Amino acid sequence: MTDDKNYHVDGPVPETPEPVVGETYLFKMRGEALPGGDVQYSLKMWPAAQTEPAGWAITYTTSTPPASGSLLLLAHQLDVTFGDVSVVPVDN
């Protein structure tokens, strides 16, 4: 899938279970510089009571690296509690 923002989703977007209000979920996101200058972003989400999935739910690659880094936690029309947040380097 591509759009006018110069990125594509690598492969089909997998089915992700629809979140249930009142259940706790864990999210993992990663931004990784690839050989050749591209940047790959990856995301997965799973219920806290289950084990972390091995693969990423969504990945996309862009040839335009970010000018700087940041992290945003946002809840739209929900009362959400964010637990501990860790930002760590990606091990190669």
Question: What is the share, in percent, of the chain residues with pLDDT greater than 90?
Answer: 2
The neighbour count for residue 8, using CB atoms within 10 Å, is: 14
Tell me if the pTM is above 0.75.
no
First to last CA, the chain: 27
Q: Where are the domains of the chain?
A: 7-62
Give residue-wise pLDDT tens across range 33-53: 888 888 888 888 889 999 998
Residue with the bigger pLDDT between 64 and 2: it is 64
User: Which H/E stretch holds residue 45?
Assistant: strand 39-47
- Residue 2: what pLDDT? 43
| Residue 7: pLDDT over 50 | no
Give residue-wise pLDDT tens across range 49-70: 999 988 888 888 888 877 777 7
The neighbour count for residue 74, using CB atoms within 10 Å, is: 7
- Residue 11: what pLDDT? 60
| Residue 4: pLDDT over 60 | no
Query: Which residues, including other chains, have CB under 8 Å from residue 56's CB and lie 6 or more apart?
Result: 30, 42, 43, 44
Place of tokens 């000018």: 67
User: Which H/E stretch holds residue 39?
Assistant: strand 39-47
CA distance 71 to 14: 24
